[in-house]
Structure 1
Amino acid sequence: MADEVQERAGVTVLVCDPDGPLIATEQDALDLIGAAFVGAQVVAVPASRLDERFFSLGTRFAGEVMQKFVNYRLRLAVVGDIAGHLAASSALRALVEESNRADHVWFVPDLDTLDTRLRATA
């Protein structure tokens, strides 16, 4: 499946292909943002597509990517199991908890959970 724009819970979402290219640079994030400009309000990125540096907060890559989405007023949903990363980093756990309380960046285990979150914010 290619990246695909879908209507999910009444919101236009760019659902990224789990087998798509790795997001390893700020430019990769900007390319996703550009792809979302077909009308998507949310970009759902499989956690498996994020470079390992995203989950190591000392690299600042996660912050750079998340800030790009905020700057362009797009919501980012990281979709998938990140339990291993969370177990290894209390700082990442704190970031995920804080992000999930807000409305710009969410970490969800699957698309069904994303749909539930989208319905709750509508």
Structure 2
Amino acid sequence: MKIVIDQRNDSKVAIVHSEAIIINNVNDALDLMADVHYNNGCSKMILREEQLTGDFFELRTRLAGEILQKYTNYKMKLAIVGDFSGVTSKSLKDFIYECNQGDNVLFKPTEAEALDRLHRIAI
């Protein structure tokens, strides 16, 4: 895993690069958040859809809710980049829509869009 920092003025976003799944459970998510915050000085991060276990997107597992609640509580802004246009689950579509209405968790199709949005969010 490699973390690259994108900085624009006073805004810093950690972009997490990995070919492997790095979040399989809540503890993985907390460890990553701590790494990004304490070792890289960021309160905003970008993950790719492929870096999250498939259970994250199965809302009935409640994994997404648990992880995102922790990130919100600790004021970590998160953008998940991926192609969500083919999502067929109504509940997942609704979840993504609702997340995108706020500033805590975003689902974006490209890294550039995620960066633009995260850099506009004040901490």
Bigger mean CA offset, 110-119 vs 31-40 = 110-119
| SS of the residue 1:3 aligns to | strand
Once the two structures are TM-superposed, the CA of residue 103 in structure 1 deviates from its matched residue by: 0.6
**Structure 1: any 5+ residue segments left out of the alignment?**
none
**What's the CA shift string for 1:7-63, capped at 9, x where partnerless?**
157521110114144311111101111111131121101100110001110000000
Aligned length in residues: 120
CA distance in 1, matches of 2:119, 2:77: 14
Question: What is the TM-score with the length of structure 1 in the denominator?
Answer: 0.87
Aligned residue in 2 for 1:114: 114
Question: What is the TM-score with the length of structure 2 in the denominator?
Answer: 0.87
Question: Identity of counterpart residues, as a percentage?
Answer: 33
CA distance in 2, matches of 1:8, 1:79: 19
Moved over 4 A (4+): none
Bigger mean CA offset, 108-117 vs 9-18 = 9-18
Q: Mark the CA change 1:9 to 1:82 in structure 2 (over 3 Å): closer, same or farther.
A: farther
**Structure 2: any 5+ residue segments left out of the alignment?**
none
| SS of the residue 1:16 aligns to | strand
